[in-house]
Amino acid sequence: MFFFLILSILLGVFSWVLIKEYQIEKFRFQSKKIELTKNAKKLCKEEEILKEKIEDFKKKTSQLFAFYDTARLISPLFNKKELTTAFVDKLSSLEGIDRISLSELQGSNCHRFKINQKDDYLYLDTQSSDIFGLFPLFAKLLTVSLERLELYGRLQELSIRDYLTGTYNRRFFNQRVEEEFLRSKKLKNKLSFLMIDIDDFKRINDTYGHLVGDAVLERCASLILEGVRQIDFVGRLGGEEFGVLLTDTDKAGAIMVSERICSRISQEKIKVFDENLNITVSIGVATYPSNTIYMDLFTEIADKALYRAKDSGKDRVSWF
């Protein structure tokens, strides 16, 4: 009997301990549940705020990215000032932006940003505080567009220039001949074409080598460029042959320019390595409209005049 009494007391104590532990764990669980619920509500609220910020950011930046995609395609048609102005106009149209201007000159209270690797800067002047969060992105987009514009200009220049002489290449030069011929025909202007060939150039290459020949080509091209105006066009037609297009120039003027180029080159001693070379050129002249009114005959007449200069002894100018 005493044994059962002791057992009952122990069971009661054990049950009471289990109930207390259960109540304690239940309280802890409820406390954690309440804390997690609070944290979940806080996270939901923060998530809603973040979503609003993201949507606002997307709204602002999507317009700039859309504009950048357009600018990326049309930037070759702009110069630096026009492209910058277009970006400023776009940024000024965004919601919350009151006034903004960009300048290459620093003013009071202006914020500057770098636009290339040459330490060139533009300066931002604005009364809108909203712009400062968006401006770093704007500056980057503008920088990339300006770099693209500069690269396009360099590539375009390379695509129309002869790599050795710096004169226009044959494709671009022929295009200019056609365009200027049609323009002269429309405006009833004179137009002259010179075909220039370095005399005995094959002998120079065979005797001294191609490096000397390249140096001769470069120097002759420089002397030809020095002998014409900036509005004229000089192109390398191939090998040792150059073409010169003299705008608004009659036959007398073309002959005078040709004689000057021919004389200047013949008087030049071209120093290449240890060699001092005397170089001469022969030049054929054709003029619109005195020689022809047909474009396909324009360069052909100059070519025939060139051959006549060669046959007559070289180092001279010939025309019809």
The answer to whether the peptide bond before residue 136 is cis (omega within 30 degrees of 0) is: no
Q: Is the pLDDT of residue 293 over 80?
A: yes
25 labelled catalytic:
no
Is residue 320 within 8 A of residue 305, CB to CB? The reply is yes
The most confident of the ranges 138-147, 262-271, 272-281 is: 262-271
pLDDT of residue 106: 61
Structure tokens at 97: 């932006």
pLDDT of residue 189: 95
Instruction: Return d(Cα 35, Cα 30) in angstroms, integer.
Output: 8
Structure tokens at 93: 């149209």
Q: Is the pLDDT of residue 117 over 60?
A: no
- DSSP letter for each residue of 83-119: HHHHHHHHHHTSTT---EEEESS--TT-EEEE-STT-
pLDDT of residue 308: 96
Is residue 211 within 8 A of residue 158, CB to CB? The reply is no
Whether this prediction's pTM lies above 0.95 is answered by no
Given the residues 180, 240, 241, 268, select the one marked as catalytic. Answer: 240
Structure tokens at 271: 């120093």
Instruction: Return d(Cα 234, Cα 271) in angstroms, integer.
Output: 23
Instruction: Delimit the domains of the chain by residue range.
Output: 1-160, 170-319
Higher pLDDT, 161 or 14: 161
Query: What dihedral angle (degrees, nearest 10) is formed by the CA atoms of 45, 49, 50, 53?
Result: 170
Q: Which CATH superfamily is domain 170-319 in?
A: Reverse transcriptase/Diguanylate cyclase domain (3.30.70.270)
Beta bridge partners of 238: 241
Q: Is the pLDDT of residue 145 over 80?
A: no
